[in-house]
């Protein structure tokens, strides 16, 4: 059944992209319990398996019914495009316990045993305590499962936003939605998210919409967040097929002789836009060296750069693409 979001002109002016380390943490927890999501993430699962086994994630899984309501207070839409995990988890800790209780009750009602199970009664009896326990558990999950890999994840998410921001300028909002996912359909002034369970509808009323790429949400698109939170659509980020693969030595020898090995490796590593720190980590080079090489490649017309939030992202120009592919 579909989820409908009804826009007016002011809503279209308030659409924005954002990324959320808290959302990725929540979805990493969900992915651990959903074998259908494991395909692209097996290398990550092997890396975190032993450490994650030491966490009791049952309280969070209890609030993640398959296809039912998931509490919005656990992962509200980020206030800015580059919110930190610490900022986001602080907002969860500060949630009104009564708001959290109502949100949890909707999720628990869709789980086996419903609201009458002992676990559900305990969670709802003292919502302030439950919020503390859940935020503590989310923070543990972040430290163990996501934070060690966050530079890699963030680079992919930022590259997705940079790409789709350009596509928005080139295509407009309606055609962009079709590129984000075939589950998104624009009709008149209504955005419909198909493939969801239940038939929901929300009038945005000037609040606009947050568009968030996610690594762990694949293959789904999630549309939601009820008042008092701003509505959001979370879609699968581009490029997750190669997310966990290690960089291969695919630099053409002739390019390495022309540019030097380090500069050629950097050029060939930029399949997606990336920043200095990400490239340094990926290629095991000093950030200062990478920065110098990037400046030379940009001056030679092989790279273009644009600032996104706290960092500068580099991407290949058409000439750089041709050279990296070994074209004459």
The pLDDT profile of the chain, 328 residues, written as one tens digit per residue, is: 578 899 988 888 889 999 999 999 999 999 998 888 888 899 999 999 899 999 999 999 999 887 778 888 998 888 777 789 999 999 999 999 999 999 999 889 888 888 888 999 999 999 999 999 999 999 999 999 999 999 888 878 887 888 888 888 888 888 898 889 888 999 889 998 887 666 678 888 888 899 999 999 888 888 877 777 888 999 999 878 777 866 555 688 888 889 999 999 999 888 778 889 888 888 889 999 999 999 999 999 898 887 766 678 888 886 887 787 664 4
Residue 115 resides in a domain: yes
The values of phi and psi at residue 82, to 5°, are -130, 45
Range of the domain at 267: 246-324
Total structural domains within the chain = 2
End-to-end CA distance of the chain: 51
Residue whose C-alpha is closest to residue 75's, from 13, 146, 4, 14 = 146
- Same domain for 42 and 179? yes
Is residue 256 domain-shared with residue 174, that is, in the same domain? Answer: no
**182 and 263 co-located in one domain:** no
* Residue 168 sits in the same domain as residue 250: no
Is there a domain that residue 223 lies in?
no
Both 101 and 180 in one domain: the answer is: yes
Please indicate, yes or no, whether residues 281 and 154 belong to a single structural domain of this protein: no
- Residue 302's contacts (CB-CB under 8 Å, 6 or more residues apart) are 267, 316, 317, 319, 320, 323
For 250-268, the pLDDT digits (tens) are: 688 888 889 999 999 999 8
Same domain, 174 and 272: no
Q: Are residues 47 and 138 in the same domain?
A: yes
CATH number (domain holding residue 281)? 1.10.10.10
Q: Is residue 26 part of a domain?
A: yes
Report how far apart, in Å, the C-alpha atoms of 93 and of each of 78, 86, 242 are: 14, 11, 35
As given in the structure block, the two tokens for residue 301 are 């017309």
Q: Do the domain assignments include residue 221?
A: no
Same domain, 68 and 170: yes
| 32 and 163 belong to one structural domain | yes
161 shares its domain with 54: yes
- 244, 43 in Cβ contact below 8 A? yes
**CA 275 → CA 68, 222, 239, distances in Å?**
38, 28, 16
């Amino acid at each position: 059944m579909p989820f409908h979001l009804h826009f007016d002109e002011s809503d279209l002016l308030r659409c924005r992209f954002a990324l959320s380390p808290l959302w990725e943490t929540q979805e990493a927890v969900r992915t651990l319990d959903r074998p259908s999501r494991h395909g692209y993430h097996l290398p990550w699962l092997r890396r975190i398996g032993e450490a994650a086994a030491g966490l009791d994630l049952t309280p969070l899984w209890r609030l993640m019914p398959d296809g039912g309501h998931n509490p919005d207070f656990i992962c509200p839409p980020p206030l800015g495009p580059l919110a930190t995990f610490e900022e986001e988890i602080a907002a969860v800790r500060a949630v009104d316990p009564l708001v959290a209780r109502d949100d949890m009750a909707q999720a628990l009602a869709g789980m086996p045993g419903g609201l009458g199970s002992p676990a559900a009664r305990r969670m709802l009896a003292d919502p302030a305590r439950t919020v503390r326990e859940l935020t503590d558990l989310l923070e543990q999950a972040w430290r163990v499962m996501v934070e060690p890999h966050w530079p890699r994840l963030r680079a992919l998410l930022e590259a997705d936003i940079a790409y789709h921001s350009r596509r928005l300028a080139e295509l407009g909002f309606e055609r962009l939605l079709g590129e984000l996912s075939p589950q998104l359909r624009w009709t008149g002034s209504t955005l419909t998210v198909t493939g969801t369970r239940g038939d929901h509808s929300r009038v945005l009323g000037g609040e606009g919409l947050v568009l968030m790429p996610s690594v762990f949400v694949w293959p789904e698109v999630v549309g939601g967040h009820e008042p008092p939170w701003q509505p959001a659509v979370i879609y699968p980020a581009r490029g997750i097929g190669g997310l966990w693969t290690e960089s291969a030595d695919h630099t053409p020898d002739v390019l390495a002789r022309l540019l030097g090995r380090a500069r050629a490796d950097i050029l060939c590593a930029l399949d997606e836009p990336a920043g200095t720190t990400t490239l340094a980590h990926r290629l095991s080079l000093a950030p200062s060296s990478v920065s110098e090489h990037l400046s030379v490649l940009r001056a030679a017309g092989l790279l273009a750069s644009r600032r996104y939030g706290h960092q500068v992202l580099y991407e290949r120009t058409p000439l750089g693409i041709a050279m990296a592919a070994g074209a004459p």
